[in-house]
Amino acid sequence: MSQPHMDVRRIATLARLELTDEEVASFSGQLDAILGHIAQLSQLEVTGIEPTAYAAAMAAPMRDDTPWQSLPSSALLQNAPDQAQGQVRVPKVVADA
C-alpha cells in the first residue's frame, strides 16, 4: 500500500499559517512519518475487537445513589459570612463586555 503524500503548503494555507521553507521541509518529513505509522496501523486485523478508550479495562467504582436527609438551612447559613432572607449573600460580580 502506497503512502499518501500531504502538501504541507496547502494544509498551512487552509490553516492560515505562514511557514518558512525550512518549516515546510521539517513538517513534510514529520507528516510523512505520521502517515506511515497510520498506514501500518490500518493493516492490522481488528475484526471482533471492541472499541475502547483505554488499553486495559477500567473500573469506575461508584457508590449507590441513595437519598438521605440533607442539612437544615439554618445549619448551612450559620457558616455563611453574610446572609439575607434565608440565602447566602455574595458580592455582586459584573463582567465588562
CB 56 within 8 A of CB 27: no
The pLDDT confidence band at residue 94, using thresholds 50, 70 and 90, is confident
Domain around 37: 8-42
Whole-structure pTM value: 0.45
Q: What is the pLDDT of residue 1?
A: 46
pLDDT in tens, 42-61: 899 989 888 888 888 777 77
Cell numbers for 73: 438551612
Query: Would 38 be classed as within a structural domain?
Result: yes
Cell numbers for 42: 490500518
- State how many domains the chain has: 1
Residue 82 has what DSSP assignment? S
Cell 486485523 belongs to which residue?
Answer: 45
Query: Would 25 be classed as within a structural domain?
Result: yes
Query: Would 37 be classed as within a structural domain?
Result: yes
Domain CATH for 38: 1.10.20
Query: Would 63 be classed as within a structural domain?
Result: no
Query: Would 24 be classed as within a structural domain?
Result: yes
Half-sphere exposure of 78 (CA within 13 A, CB side): 5
